[in-house]
A and B are shown apart, each in its own frame.
Chain A
Amino acid sequence: MPPPDLLRLEGVSAGYGRVPALHAVDLALGPGETLAIIGANGAGKSTLLRAIMGQIPLLGGQIRFAGTRLDGRATHARARLGIGYAPEGRQLFPMLSVADTLELGAAREPASVRRARRNEMFVIFPKLLPLRDTRCGLLSGGEQQMVAIARALMGRPTLLVLDEPSTGLAPRVIAELYASLARLLDSGLAVLVAEQNARAALRFARNAVVCEDGHLTLRGPAKTLAADPRVAAAYIGMHDAGIWSAAPAGGASDAPI
């Protein structure tokens, strides 16, 4: 018997005002699984994650997390249920130090627990240790993304939701970031990651879905999708696609990266 779903979306429509930007989306994720949502800019990836986090109301359908219906719960209540969220644009506290920011990720725990978990984060992301007293606003993009992920991990989530963690980062930094994420998976953490820049996400995640105009149009194992000519052309780019053994040759010369 497969494990029960950690996250399940059924017929979820959501948007801004009365216009849906997401149409009847079905999605399921089990404990410890990894899923990449890839799609072009404006496809609706962030909207999907915002609907999961309760940043926008549903226009239809329902979302369950660990068996609980999420309807009507505010974002902070969903975080407390065990969803760690690193939103688009990172949403750090620019004037607060790295250490304070991390502690805020476990704001409701006693000081001793906050400190212990913060120190665990410095083990997972050793680069943050010398920056503990630095204001988040002064960090590089890669460091900021590490803080955003570490902050999301401070609440001991069972699901990590990441919105475009690689935006603005150099390829080497992206690789480093995903390597850190991969090491976290041993603990049974499930990860849902939305990326426009699909290469690293498809290599990291076991499964993937393609989001187009608010619809999930393709789904399957990440390796299969990465090798799919349609995906390679549209979301990986011809140049990058070359790294995949099964990547198609030719075509898509005008493909966006």
Chain B
Amino acid sequence: MLTVITLALLGLLWGGVYLLMATGLNLIYGVMKVVNLAHGDFIVLGGLLAFSLFAEAGLNPLAAFPIAALVLFGIGAGVQFGLLERITAAGSEGELRSLLATFGLSYVVANASFLVWGSQFQSVPFLEGAVQAGPIAIPAGLLAASLAAFAATLLIHLWLTTTITGKSLHATAQSALGAASCGIDVRRVRLLAFALGSAMAGGAGALVITLIPFQTSTGGELTVHAFTLIALGGLGNYAGAWLAAELLGLTEVFAQFYLGSNAAAAVIYIVFIAVLVVRPQGLLGQAGRV
């Protein structure tokens, strides 16, 4: 019983980390209807930046978090301005071209990272002990990363739902023409959305590299992870993404414990395919979409 409770706790904590990894992707999809296939590579880049900040300057990952986020914010803004905004085709053709552009981008980011950091696995040691709660022991690093992730996603959510700028992101997502009629510069909103989504990937990377070692080629896997999560939650749906993150965290932790890590790695892909086949509209469907 104790094992089950511990595993459940671990799963929920991992859920927070997954949520942070996916929220940026969700935000970008919500506003622009583009799945950024370079999202995982952005996460890895953020993580490797945190690694260098730690190795060169002794900065701890919580301090590296805003720096990685800021750098990726800049990169995201550059990508949106220089690449995605130039794709002017409308409708599904525009979406397809944007998707292909981010696919290419993922290679560019992964290879550029490879030139800087090489191919070896890197990680950042952080709070190696455990937090004891009665008979239950939780790794301190996971707890800290998860809490930071929850805090960051909550802040973003509050910003999106309570400020006029946040609402203009929602508005642009729901009707770009309606937003433009309000005098909202929808190009600027899209720039902000892509930059912010990328910043969240960078920040997530700085936290996640303390939990899972990163290699420059880890990005693809993380993209699938994040995409599975938001597809499960219903694309663009924030409440659904949170639920999906917790489910995925629990599934992985339990699968890892009872079936071993190879099986656990396969579980995510099985869930991914199952979602696409059984419930392509996500767990909560259309309700609560951006």
Residues of A within 8 A of B (CB): 53, 55, 74-77, 79-80, 84-87, 90-96, 100-101, 103-108, 111, 114, 151-152, 154-155
Contacts and interface: CB of A to CB of B under 8 A. Distances in A.
Contacts of B243: none
A93 B170 contact: yes
Contact of B164 (A76, A114, A155): A114
B181 A103 contact: no
A155 B184 CA distance: 11
Nearest to B181: A85
Contacts of B178: 87, 90-93, 151
Nearest to B289: A95
A76 B180 contact: yes
Given A76-B179, A114-B164, 6 more contacts: A76-B185, A76-B186, A90-B178, A95-B290, A104-B184, A155-B183
Nearest to B163: A111
B157 interface: no
Contacts of B182: 76, 79, 104-107, 151, 154-155
The size bracket of the interface on B is: 20 to 34
A74 B14 CA distance: 44
Contacts of B183: 76, 79-80, 105, 107-108, 155
Given A92-B175, A93-B175, A96-B174, A104 B180 contact: no
Contacts of B290: 95
Contact of B181 (A100, A108, A111, A152): A152
Contacts of B288: 95
Among B170, B171, B290: residue with most chain A CB under 10 A: B171
A96 B167 contact: yes
Contacts, number: 82
A95 to B, nearest CB: 6
The 3 nearest A-B residue pairs measured at CB: A91-B178, A75-B180, A79-B183
Contact of A93 (B171, B180, B185): B171
A61 B171 CA distance: 33
Nearest to A100: B167
Interface in B127-182: 164, 167-168, 170-171, 174-175, 177-182
A96 B170 contact: yes
Among B175, B177, B182, B186: residue with most chain A CB under 10 A: B182
A87 B184 CA distance: 15
Contact of A104 (B171, B177, B289): B171
Interface in B177-202: 177-187
A92 B170 CA distance: 11
A76 B184 contact: yes
B167 A74 contact: no
Contacts of A80: 183
B164 A103 contact: yes
A108 B164 CA distance: 9
Nearest to A157: B183
A91 B175 CA distance: 6
Nearest to A82: B183
A107 B180 CA distance: 11
B27 to A, nearest CB: 15
A117 B174 CA distance: 23
Contacts of A154: 182
Given A75-B180, A79-B181, A151-B182, A107 B164 contact: yes
A126 B108 CA distance: 56
7 contacts: A75-B181, A79-B180, A96-B170, A96-B174, A107-B168, A154-B182, A155-B182
B285 to A, nearest CB: 13
A84 B182 CA distance: 8
Nearest to A54: B180
Contact of A74 (B174, B180, B289): B180
Contacts of A93: 170-171, 174-175, 178-179
B275 to A, nearest CB: 22
B288 to A, nearest CB: 8
A106 B167 CA distance: 12
A86 B186 CA distance: 17
Among B178, B185, B186: residue with most chain A CB under 10 A: B178
Nearest to A81: B183
Contacts of B184: 76, 104, 107
A111 B174 CA distance: 22
A77 B185 CA distance: 8
A103 B164 CA distance: 8
